[in-house]
C-alpha cells in the first residue's frame, strides 16, 4: 500500500480523498493555487505545495508543476479527483514515466472513453446500445445543418471533449442549429482547448441514469447499481439519487451488464461511470463513460456500504477486488443535493464572495456533508461555485427525502447567495416525490425562472407561532431591565398581530414552561425551545413535533426560512398594526432603460453602437462567466443612447452595459 499520495485537485473532492487516505493510514499532499492558500484541503493535508496563480490554466492544469510536487514530497501516487487533469491521458502517461501511480484507469481507457466519438464506436462494437447520430467531426455550421436535417430535429450538438454541460446545445430548427453550433464550438474551445463538435438525436422525455463500475488489474469488473441524475438545470446535475425510482430489476441488470462489457473492452481498472439516456419505455442508450470518480459517488457509497475512494486506491496499489457481482447488495435509498453559490431568484447567476456565516447540518448516520469550505472561506470567481454536497439516507425513498428536507432547514449560509430554496422546492415538488422526473423537468416546471412564490409555505401557522415566540422572548428580556420604579414595572401585553406579507394574523401569547403557548385562529400552538438570542437556528418543538427554522432579526423584522420558503415577519401591537397597514410602499427605481450585467463576468462581445436601432430578441452582448457564454438579448425595440462598457471589461452584478433612449 502507498505511504503517501498527492491529491491533484481542490475543494470538496480533495477533502473527501484526504479523509479516506487518513482512515487508511496514508499521508497526503495537497496542491494549491495562490487563491486557495487558506483553503480547507490545504489545512487538512499533511503537506501542501503552492503550484501557481489562481487561474486553473496556470496552476491546477499545469502537469509539470504537479509532477514536480510529487518529486519534491516523495508522493508515490496521485489521486486526480474529478475535473482538472482527472481525464487527461497525457497526465496519466507522464506519471507512469516517472514511476508514480495514477489512482484511476490506464491510458488506453482514458483515451478511448475521453473522446465521445471514439467511445461511441467502441460502445457499438461492445454491443452497447447507442443513440442515432453523426459521429465524425463536423466541419462548419452548414455541415451541422445538413446532418441535423438528415437525422431529424430535435438534435443535440455536443463538444467531443465536453462535460459539465459546457459545449452542449439543443436545436429544434435550422436557426437554432446554426447558433448552437457556434456557441458549442466557442465554449468547447474556451473550456477544453478542443473545438470539435458532433451531432446526435435528442431523446425527448429523457432520464439520465448512470451505472457505477469497479474494475481491478486482474480482469474482475463489477457494477454497483445505478444513480438517477435526471434532475438537471442547463445540463448541470442538481439532485442525484440511488437507486433510480424508474428502473426495474431487468433493466438494471441489462444496463449493468452493458456497462461491464464496455469497461472490459478497454481493460478498465478503477472506479468509473457509464452514463445512459433512458426513454419513457425504459429503452436505454449509451451517452459517455466518465473515467474518474463522479461528483455524486456518495449516494452509491450509502446504498452499497463501500468507500469508492478506498477501492480506487486499493486497485491502483495492485490489490484484487474483494467482492464479486453476487456480493453486491443495494440497501435503502440515498439522495444528494448540490449546494451552489448562485442566486436562484436571479436566473441562478453565480454569486462570489466570503462566507460570513456557514453552519452546515450536523452529520449523522443519515446525513453527510461533503465540503471544501468553512466559515470565512471565499467563493472565488476562478473555480466551480459549489459550496457543498448534502447527502441523506433512509430505509425508503420517502425517508431519505424527509431527512433531506430537515437537513436543508438546518443549512445556514450567509455572505453569498445560494440555491437552498430551490433544492427545498424540488424536494416537495409532486413530480419529484412521485418519481416522474426527466432531464426536462426543471425547464418545464419553471419556464420563467424560479421565484419566491414557487415555494409557498404549507403551514403558515408554524411561522406565525415561531415569530410570536421570538418577539415575546425579546420583550420579556427587555421587561427585566434594571432600575425600574417599584410598582411601575414594564408589563408585556399578551395580544399581538403578526404581520406577514400583506396579511395580519392576530395572536394571543401566554408564557408556559419551556416556551410559550400561542393561540392563533382559535387553535393552541405549544412552542417549546431553549433558543438563545442571536443564534440563527431556532430548534424546538411545535405541539411536540421537532422543528428547525432559520432566524434573522433585522430591526423590527424577523426573517424566517423553512422548507425553502422565506418570510419577512413583523410582530406589532394591535394599534401599530393598524398604522402599519396605512404605510405607503416605496416603488423600486425604473431600470428598464439600461442593459445590466446579470452576473460577474467578462464582456467578450458587444454587438451594438451608439444610435443603433435594436429589435426585441436581438443579441446585444455576450458575457463569459464560469467558462460559459451568456447571450444578453433585447427584451423590447429601442435605440442605443450610450455604451457604458467595452469588450474585455470585467463586469460586476448589475453593472450598466448599455443605456437606451
Longest CA pairwise span in the chain (Å): 93
Q: Which residue has the cell 423537468?
A: 441
Burial class (CB in 10 A: 0-12, 13-18, 19+), 555: exposed
- Burial of 193 (C-beta count, 10 Å sphere; 0-12/13-18/19+): exposed
E runs forming strands in 13-154:
27-33, 47-52, 77-79, 101-102, 133-134
**DSSP string for 476-531:** HHHTT-TTPPTT------SEEEEEETTEEEEEEEEEETTEEEEEETTEEEEEEE-P
C-alpha–C-alpha distance, residues 642 and 321, integer Å: 66
Determine the angle formed by the axes of helices 397-410 and 420-427, rounding to 10 degrees. 150
- Write the CB contacts of 151 (distance below 8 Å, at least 6 apart in sequence): 132, 133, 134, 199, 200, 201
Distance CA 137, CA 196 (A): 6
- Whether 597 and 652 have beta carbons less than 8 Å apart is answered as yes
If you ran DSSP here, which 8-state letter would residue 56 be given?
G
> What are the φ and ψ backbone dihedral angles of 530, each rounded to 5 degrees?
-105, 30
Rounded to whole angstroms, the Cα distance separating 164 from 559 reads 35
Number of other residues whose CB lies within 10 A of the CB of residue 141: 15
- What are the cell numbers at 322? 474483494
Q: Exactly one of 275, 288, 301, 342 is catalytic; which is it?
A: 288
Helix (H, G, I), strand (E, B) or coil at 313: helix
3-state secondary structure 593-625: CEEECCCCEEEEEECCCCCCEECCCCEEEEEEE
d(CA 120, CA 201): 13
Grid coordinates representing 22 are 487518513
- Among left, alpha and beta (phi > 0; psi -120 to 50; other), residue 472 is alpha
CA angle, 337 then 341 then 343, to 5°: 100
Residue showing cell 453476487? 326
Distance CA 388, CA 404 (A): 14
Q: Could you write out the DSSP letters of every residue in 413-480?
A: EESS--SHHHHHHHHT-HHHHTT---TTHHHHH-TT---GGGS--S-HHHHHHHHHHHHHHHHHHHTT
- Provide the 8-state DSSP code for 388: E
Q: Would you call 288 a catalytic residue per the annotation?
A: yes
Cβ atoms 499, 577 nearer than 8 A: yes
Question: DSSP letter at 138?
Answer: P
CA 630, CA 600: separation in Å to the nearest integer?
11
Sheet of strand 197-201: strand arrangement:
133-134, 197-201, 155-163, 166-171
Question: CA distances (Å), 555 to each of 500, 522, 568, 571, 599, in order?
Answer: 15, 29, 11, 11, 30
C-alpha to C-alpha distances, 129 to 123, 238, 274, 287, 355, nearest whole angstrom: 7, 26, 12, 9, 46
Provide long-range contacts, Cβ within 8 A and 24+ apart, for 21-24. 21/79, 21/309, 21/313, 23/307, 23/310, 24/310, 24/313
Q: How many CB atoms lie within 10 A of CB 590?
A: 7
Question: Which residues are annotated as catalytic?
Answer: 288
Amino acid at each position: 500500500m502507498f505511504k503517501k499520495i498527492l491529491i491533484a485537485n481542490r475543494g470538496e473532492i480533495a477533502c473527501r480523498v484526504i479523509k479516506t487516505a487518513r482512515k487508511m493510514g496514508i499521508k497526503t499532499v495537497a496542491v494549491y493555487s495562490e487563491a486557495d492558500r487558506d483553503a480547507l484541503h490545504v489545512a487538512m493535508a499533511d503537506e501542501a505545495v503552492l503550484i501557481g496563480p489562481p487561474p486553473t490554466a496556470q496552476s491546477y492544469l499545469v502537469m509539470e508543476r504537479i509532477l514536480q510536487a510529487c518529486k519534491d514530497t516523495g508522493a508515490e501516487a496521485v489521486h486526480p479527483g474529478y475535473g482538472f487533469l482527472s481525464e487527461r491521458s497525457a497526465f496519466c502517461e507522464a506519471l507512469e514515466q516517472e514511476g508514480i501511480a495514477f489512482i484511476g484507469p490506464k491510458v488506453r481507457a482514458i483515451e478511448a472513453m475521453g473522446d465521445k466519438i471514439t467511445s461511441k464506436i467502441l460502445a457499438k462494437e461492445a454491443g452497447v446500445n447507442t443513440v442515432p447520430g453523426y459521429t465524425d467531426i463536423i466541419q462548419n455550421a452548414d455541415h451541422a445543418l445538413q446532418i441535423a436535417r438528415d437525422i431529424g430535429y430535435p438534435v443535440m450538438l455536443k463538444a467531443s471533449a465536453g462535460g459539465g454541460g459546457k459545449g452542449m446545445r439543443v436545436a429544434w430548427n435550422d436557426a437554432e442549429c446554426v447558433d448552437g453550433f457556434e456557441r458549442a464550438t466557442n465554449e468547447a474551445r474556451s473550456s477544453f482547448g478542443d473545438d470539435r463538435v458532433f451531432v446526435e438525436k435528442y431523446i425527448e422525455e429523457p432520464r439520465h441514469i448512470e451505472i457505477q463500475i469497479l474494475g481491478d488489474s486482474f480482469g474482475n469488473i463489477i457494477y454497483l447499481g445505478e444513480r438517477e441524475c435526471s434532475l438537471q438545470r442547463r445540463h448541470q446535475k442538481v439532485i442525484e439519487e440511488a437507486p433510480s425510482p424508474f428502473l426495474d430489476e431487468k433493466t438494471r441488470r441489462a444496463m449493468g451488464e452493458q456497462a461491464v462489457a464496455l469497461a472490459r473492452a478497454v481493460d478498465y481498472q478503477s472506479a468509473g461511470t457509464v452514463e445512459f439516456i433512458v426513454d419513457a419505455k425504459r429503452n436505454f442508450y449509451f451517452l459517455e463513460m466518465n473515467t474518474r470518480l463522479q461528483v455524486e459517488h456518495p449516494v452509491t457509497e450509502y446504498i452499497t456500504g463501500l468507500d469508492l475512494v478506498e477501492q480506487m486506491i486499493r486497485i491502483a496499489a495492485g490489490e484484487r477486488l474483494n467482492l464479486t457481482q453476487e456480493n453486491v447488495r443495494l440497501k435503502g435509498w440515498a439522495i444528494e443535493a448540490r449546494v451552489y453559490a448562485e442566486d436562484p431568484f436571479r436566473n441562478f447567476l453565480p454569486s462570489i464572495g466570503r462566507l460570513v456565516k456557514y453552519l452546515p447540518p450536523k452529520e449523522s448516520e443519515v446525513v453527510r456533508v461533503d465540503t471544501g469550505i468553512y466559515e470565512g472561506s471565499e467563493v472565488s470567481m476562478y473555480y466551480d461555485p459549489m459550496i457543498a454536497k448534502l447527502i441523506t439516507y433512509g430505509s425508503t425513498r420517502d425517508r431519505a427525502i424527509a431527512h433531506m428536507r430537515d437537513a436543508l432547514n438546518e443549512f445556514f449560509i450567509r455572505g453569498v447567495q445560494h440555491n437552498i430554496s430551490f433544492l427545498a422546492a424540488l424536494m416537495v415538488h409532486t413530480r419529484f416525490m412521485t418519481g416522474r422526473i426527466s432531464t426536462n423537468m426543471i425547464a418545464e416546471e419553471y419556464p420563467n425562472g424560479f421565484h419566491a412564490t414557487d415555494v409557498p409555505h404549507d403551514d403558515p401557522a408554524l411561522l406565525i407561532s415561531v415569530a410570536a415566540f421570538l418577539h415575546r422572548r425579546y420583550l420579556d428580556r427587555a421587561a427585566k431591565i434594571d432600575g425600574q420604579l417599584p410598582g411601575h414595572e414594564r408589563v408585556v401585553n399578551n395580544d399581538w398581530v403578526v404581520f406577514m406579507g400583506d396579511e395580519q394574523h392576530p395572536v394571543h401569547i401566554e408564557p408556559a414552561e419551556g416556551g410559550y403557548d400561542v393561540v392563533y385562529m382559535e387553535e393552541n400552538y405549544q412552542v417549546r425551545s431553549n433558543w438563545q438570542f442571536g443564534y440563527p437556528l431556532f430548534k424546538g418543538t411545535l405541539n411536540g413535533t421537532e422543528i428547525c427554522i432559520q432566524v434573522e432579526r433585522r430591526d423590527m423584522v424577523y426573517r424566517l426560512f423553512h422548507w425553502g420558503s422565506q418570510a419577512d415577519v413583523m410582530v406589532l401591537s394591535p394599534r401599530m398594526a393598524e398604522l402599519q397597514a396605512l404605510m405607503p410602499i416605496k416603488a423600486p427605481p425604473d431600470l428598464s432603460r439600461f442593459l445590466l450585467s446579470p452576473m460577474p463576468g467578462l464582456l467578450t462581445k458587444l454587438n451594438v453602437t451608439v444610435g443603433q436601432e435594436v429589435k426585441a430578441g436581438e443579441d446585444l452582448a455576450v458575457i463569459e462567466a464560469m467558462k460559459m457564454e451568456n447571450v444578453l438579448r433585447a427584451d423590447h425595440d429601442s435605440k442605443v443612447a450610450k455604451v457604458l462598457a467595452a469588450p474585455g471589461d470585467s463586469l460586476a452584478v448589475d453593472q450598466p452595459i448599455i443605456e437606451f433612449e
